Amino acid sequence: MPSDPLVARHVLEFPGGYTRTTGPVIGRFLTELRARRLVGVRTAEGRVLVPPLEYDPATGDPVTGEYVEVGPAGTVTASAWVREPRAAHPLDRPFAWALIRLDGADTALVHAVDAGDPRAVPPGTRVWPVWKDAPTGQITDIAYFAPEVTKIVSPVRAEYRLRAGGALRVFLEGVARGVFLGGRCARCDQVYVPYRTSCPECGGRIGEPVELPGTGVITTFAINNLPDPRAPEVPFVSAYVLLDGADIPMIALIGDVPAHEVRQGMRVRAVWVPEEERTPSMANVRWFAPTGEPDMELS
Partner 1 sequence: MNRCAVIGVGQTRYTTKRRDVSIAGLVREAALRALEDAGLTFKDIDAVVVGKAPDLFEGVMMPESYLADALGAAGKPVTRVHTAGSVGGSTALVGASLIQGGVHDRVLVVAFEKQSESNATWALSTHLPFSASLVVGAGGYFAPHIREYMRRSGAPAHIGTLVAVKDRLNALKNPYAHLRIPGIDQAMVESTPMLWEPIRYLETCPSSDGACALVLASEDKVTGTPAWVHGAAMRSEPIFRAGRDTVSPQAGKDCAADVYRQAGVCDPRRDIDVAEVYVPFSWYEPMWLENLGFAAEGEGWKLTESGATALDGDIPWNASGGVLSSNPIGASGLIRFAEAALQVRGMAGEHQVDGARLALGHAYGGGAQFFAMWIVGRERP
Q: Is 192 in the site for partner 1 (CB under 8 A)?
A: yes
| Contact window for partner 1 (CB under 8 A) among 50-58, 60-68, 90-98, 276-284 | 276-284
The answer to whether residue 285 forms part of the interface with partner 1 (CB under 8 A) is: yes
Report in angstroms how near the CB of residue 235 gets to partner 1 at its nearest. Answer: 7
Which amino acid makes up residue 285? V
By CB under 8 A, tell whether 198 contacts partner 1.
no
Binding-site string for partner 1 from residue 89 to residue 128, where x marks contact by CB under 8 A and - marks none: ----------------------------------------
With CB under 8 A, what is the number of residues at the site for partner 1?
42
- Considering only the stretches 13-21, 42-50, 99-107, 222-230, report the one whose residues sit in contact with partner 1 under the rule CB under 8 A: 222-230
CB of 246 closer than 8 Å to CB of 182: yes
> DSSP string of the chain?
-TT-TT--------TT------HHHHHHHHHHHHTT--EEEE-TTS-EESS--SB-TTT-PBPPS-EEE--SSEEEEEEEEESS--TTSS-SS-EEEEEEEETT-SS-EEEEE--SSGGG--TT-EEEEEE-SS--SSGGGEEEEEE------------------HHHHHHHHHHHHT-EEEEEBTTT-PEESS--SB-TTT--BB-S-EEE-SEEEEEEEEEE-S--TTSSSSSEEEEEEEETT-SS-EEEEE-SS-GGG--TT-EEEEEEPPGGG--SSGGGEEEEEE--SPPPPP-
Instruction: Among 82, 143, 179, 222, indicate the residue that binds partner 1 (CB under 8 A).
Output: 222
Query: Of 110 and 234, which has the nearer Cβ to partner 1?
Result: 234
Using the minimum distance from each CB to partner 1, give the nearer residue, 25 or 127: 127
Q: Does 29 bind partner 1 (CB under 8 A)?
A: no
Window of 51-59, 85-93, 119-127, 164-172 that interacts with partner 1 by CB under 8 A: 164-172
Q: Which of 3, 19, 21, 225 binds partner 1 (CB under 8 A)?
A: 225
- The arrangement of strands across the sheet holding 210-212 comes to 191-192, 180-184, 210-212
281 binding partner 1? (CB under 8 A): yes
- ω into residue 5 within 30 of 0, thus cis? no
Tell whether residue 149 is a contact of partner 1 (CB under 8 A): no
Least distance between partner 1 and beta carbon 95 (Å)? 22
Site for partner 1, residues 255 to 274, rule: CB under 8 A: 264
Distance of closest approach, residue 158 Cβ to partner 1, in angstroms: 9
Q: Interface residues with partner 1 (CB under 8 A)?
A: 150-151, 154, 156, 162, 164, 168, 172, 188, 190-192, 200-201, 219-226, 228, 230-231, 235-236, 238-240, 247-248, 251-253, 264, 280-283, 285, 298
